[in-house]
Amino acid sequence: MLAKRRFGPMFVVQFMGAFNDNLLKFALLFLANFGLYVAEPDKAELLAVVSTGLFILPYFLFSALAGQVADRIDKARLVRLVKLAEVGIMTIGLAGFWFESVAVLLTALFLMGMHSTVFGPVKYSILPQHLHRDEIMGGTGLIEAGTFLAILGGQLLAGLIPAWEAGLAAMGIAVIGLGFAMLVPPAPPTRGGHPVDWNVFRGTWHILKVAHKGRGVWLAILGVSWFFTAGAVLMSEFAPLVSGSLGARQEVVSLFLVLFSVSIALGSLAVNRLLKGEVSARYVPASALGLAAGMIDLWLSASMFQIVTPDATIGQFITNPGAWRVMFDVVVIAVSGGMFIVPLYAILQTHAAPEERSQVIAANNIVNAGVTVGVVLVVGAMLGAGTSVPGVIGALGFATLTVALISVWLLPETLFKSVVRATLRLIYRVEVNGMENMPKAGERAVVVVNHLSFLDGLLLGAFLPGKPTFAVATYIAKAWWIQPFLKLFEAFPVDPTNPMAAKAMVKAVREGRTLVIFPEGRITVTGALMKVFDGPGMVADKADAPIVPVRLDGPQYTLFSRMKGKVRRRWFPKVRITVLPQRRFAIEGEMSARQRRAIAGRKLYDEMSRMIFDTSPTNRTLYEALGEARRVHGGKALVVEDIKREPLSYDRLILASGLLGKELARESKPGETVGLLLPNVSGVVVAFFGLQAQGRVPAMLNFTVGQANMVSACATAEISTVVTARAFVEQAKLGALIAGLEAEGLRVLYLEDLAARISTPAKVWGMLSKRGPMRAHKHLKISPDAPAVILFTSGSEGTPKGVVLSHRNLLANCAQLAGRIDFNSSDVVLNALPVFHSFGLTGGTLLPLLNGIRTVFYPSPLHYRIVPALAYDANATIMFGTDTFLAGYARMAHSYDFYSLRYIFAGAEKVRDETRRTYAEKFGLRILEGYGATEAAPVIAVNTPMHFKAGSVGRLLPAIEARLEDVPGIEEGGRLYIRGPNVMAGYLLASAPGVLQPPEDGWHDTGDIVTIDETGFVTIRGRAKRFAKIGGEMVSLPAVEGYAAKVWPDAEHAVVTRPDPKKGEQLVMFTTATDADAKTLQRWGRENGVTELMLPREIRVLDALPVLGTGKLDYVTMGKMAAE
């Protein structure tokens, strides 16, 4: 700032003025003591008192006028007038030194007192007009540092040069000051038309009343006055302290003055660095205690000081062991003083009304002078009564201690807050991020926080800046137990039953208050977001204030939460507080107040769920996330179980994956893609994480697609090794498939063989070094954006496409779901969807596993009688399925089989009304339909208990961007494109094996025609891409046309779909082949490894296929024909 015109010139002007004040005063005293009155010490002592009195007298007489004048004319102009007067005053002073006239010099000193009286209000009140709010602390610190260095410089120079040379120097400095005054930018008057009250006494009384009406301003004035009084007394007592108690020469006094002035400058700059520009009294009580402690210890150290060398020089003095303690005390006093005074001066500048700012600073000068005179009289009386100089300093220290304790009481949010904050940091290892996003004091904002425990208010009160205002229910605000904590925050009582409560909150925010609200209105009992009330969103909307989301994470694991029996609570879990950037939501258009309130509430919920996502860790690998889950939920937590009903804990899973991973590493290279051909059993989870542990990429192979497609998938992903299990191959009758893979040159490894190779010592060592696998994995330094898994989906030409999902993609989708759905470790997931299905992998496996939820795997979703029985036996609370599977379960299940279910999530195909109605009537359950794509890891949108609309697929998950593009011939809806952290890294295509094809600019074309209503619900209207979803599986229509072309190469073929009540969609083929029939096509499929699912059962023969004007086949028309 010193290089900027809006501050630099004013700094120089102030520095030169303070320098001249002290140069003139001390040159006069040195002239009297060592010249004019060298033989008359009594006159010299009297002159010291008179000179001090004459310099202070103008502060009493003219401060009121100075404050009024400074508010009524341009301050830059006033600065120039004052500096011009200083040149004249120094001319008088130079004449006094030349003629050695004490009377003339005292006149000049009195006039400099008037100069300082007029300049005092200007030098501080001009800063807020030239500096930004966040620069005021820094500017004030520099002014204070410069002032004390100028005082020191003036005093030292006065003792080094003859008196008349001091006069010349003062004259030159005054001229330099005037030159810089000409550079000060304009500062227009704040009360230009208000008359000046020339009655000194009435004016003085008035500005004291003005200053007193602001409690914070008046306390700051008292604090400033005490510091200047204590500093003035202390500096005046350095000389007798050094010559008497310390037995040293005058040069040691100069050393003390240097230490004192430089340390004050350092303290002034340090407090600005600590506060980072914030105007706050946070460090005032602590600094006052430091100031008191330094003075008290200086009394003790000086009293106990043993003089070794009388009349010691600086070199001799510092060899005395006691000298270092004395000098340390001086430094502590000065540094504490600098940290004490700067925030108080900044408060004077910012908290006083702009039109009264100069008067308030003038009032401060009056009080300064009054307190100084009073304390000087008391000190004089003490010295007259025989009290030693150290005794005076000790008395001053205890008086300062009283001031410090009063400041602690008056400003409890400072020291008390520091103690509470330090305690919480110690026991909960509190980590705070994003505090720079909090609004500054006086800025309107609504801070919204998730509510996890009874500890939340204490955490926020201790760590949020300043003294935040909490919206608290009236009955809680009156409770006895909350009273002690009101020192940390202000309570804004709110009666939820009073319709005026919301209006009161809006008014408070409009007045510039930052209101902290828990929008859930209660402590969570699920560990996730609960219902979010509309009120806080409406308050932000009505008050035109930004929302500041604050995420608490960790208090739910403390004993102060309401999560007993649902999470592993413990004494001292780590707590994180994250403040996100401010955000606004605009509500446009004409609507009723009720509609506006509902929109505000919905937008607030979206912001809070986005907050949960944004603060969830996705910058790590899946294996690291598994390790973190073990740390949070405990190594003994049971998380994986299959039909053998032998659950695996985190410890056993990590041990097994670590051991198996080492064997797999011997058979593969780092980063290599390894195929996994396994059903839903515990072994697939162990193998999956075993590959993750060693930095290999598992490719989940679909064992139902037939040999041709599997070989194509392996070639596309450059898979050379496939891991399976003999028991699975035998039971699923996959021997021919395995033989076919081996015939194509792929190597097949069996889990049974790999497990047999693990030695007993390796198992024992693994059990002893539980954290070994995690440490070894971290040494691999795998990027979160590296491939984590490869899944497969049908390609446009019928060959499978590899979908590469990164660690971040999968963890992001888990975090997106966690931001919208409440679940906790007391839940049990039943997952019968195969893990080669993206829904089965992310929703049914990774999401529960990484959140401490036990997952029960079942190998086939087609066992309609067994799956419901397993849900009953396992006490499942969450189940995943497709409409086809759910309809099958409903037919076979007993009405009580699903008694424990909380949520049923359906995806992959549209949920029919009949299925929805059956579950509501037979089981009393609501199916939560969702929508996804393998390319989105997979969930894009989902209905939730809080936001549900039958027939839709729910609302988009947090952080997913969507755009709709028009499709010719489609009137309702548009083609959906999505972008977000869960969207795949890219495709692997058969035409370019192993080459990643990332989505253009991150956007993925879903190929679906959708509508999105005003509340955000997505409804699927059709498909733009030529795919069909049959039984949850994607079937490429061009590929089916290609199969027909191989059977009837001379004919034209077109395949469309129509709804099917059981499978979701049904293929219908139109052809010009007169002999075409379904049996011939199915026979060809069996011979060539193409499953029946991908072949139409209905074939219609036409003379010619309908075409558009462009010559392209008219699929829309054929779709209508198929539906007839």
Q: How far apart, in whole angstroms, are the C-alpha atoms of residue 246 and residue 253?
A: 10
Q: Give the CA angle between residues 986, 989, 991 to the nearest 5°.
A: 145
Whether 451 is catalytic is yes
Give the 3-state secondary structure of residue 490: strand
Give the 3-state secondary structure of residue 793: strand
Give the 3-state secondary structure of residue 248: strand
Rounded alpha-carbon distances, angstroms, from residue 401 to 372, 396, 404, 414, 1068: 18, 9, 5, 16, 92
How buried is residue 349: exposed, middle or buried, by Cβ count under 10 Å (0-12/13-18/19+)?
A: buried
Token reading at 505: 């909150």
Phi-psi region of 990 (alpha: psi -120 to 50; beta: other; left: phi over 0): alpha
Q: How far apart, in whole angstroms, are the C-alpha atoms of residue 927 and residue 953?
A: 11
Rounded alpha-carbon distances, angstroms, from residue 941 to 601, 842, 929, 1016: 19, 14, 9, 10
Residues 666, 670, 671, 674: what is their CA dihedral angle, to the nearest 10 degrees?
0
3-state helix, strand, coil in the chain (%, to 5): 55, 15, 30
**How far apart are the two ends of the chain, measured CA to CA in Å?**
80
Q: Extract the runs of DSSP E, i.e. beta strands, from 633-700.
A: 638-641, 648-649, 673-676, 697-700
Residue of 130, 194, 206, 451 marked catalytic: 451
DSSP for 333-347, written as a single string: HHHHHHHHHHHHHHH
DSSP for 511-559, written as a single string: TT-EEEE-TTSS--SSSS--PPPSHHHHHHHHTT--EEEEEEESGGGST
Q: How far apart, in whole angstroms, are the C-alpha atoms of residue 544 and residue 541?
A: 5
| Residues in contact with 254: Cβ distance below 8 Å, sequence separation at least 6, in sequence order | 156, 159
Q: How far apart, in whole angstroms, are the C-alpha atoms of residue 234 and residue 497?
A: 60
Give the 3-state secondary structure of residue 307: coil
Residue pair 476/522 in contact (Cβ under 8 Å)? The answer is no
The residue behind tokens 């059993």 is 681
Complete edge-to-edge strand list for the sheet that includes strand 986-989: 747-750, 721-724, 673-676, 697-700, 787-794, 800-806, 986-989, 992-997
Chain CA centroid to CA 618, Å? 15
Give the 3-state secondary structure of residue 276: coil
Residue pair 719/675 in contact (Cβ under 8 Å)? The answer is yes
Residue pair 676/723 in contact (Cβ under 8 Å)? The answer is yes
As beta bridge partners, residue 675 has 699, 722
What does residue 324 show for φ and ψ, rounded to 5 degrees?
-65, -35
| Residues in contact with 656: Cβ distance below 8 Å, sequence separation at least 6, in sequence order | 648, 686, 690
DSSP for 70-84, written as a single string: HHHS-HHHHHHHHHH
Q: How far apart, in whole angstroms, are the C-alpha atoms of residue 810 and residue 817?
A: 11
Chain CA centroid to CA 290, Å? 33
Residues 38, 41, 42, 46: what is their CA dihedral angle, to the nearest 10 degrees?
80
Burial 886-915 (b: 16+ CB within 10 A, else e): bbbbbeebeeebbebbebbbbbbbbbbeeb
- Just list the catalytic residues: 451
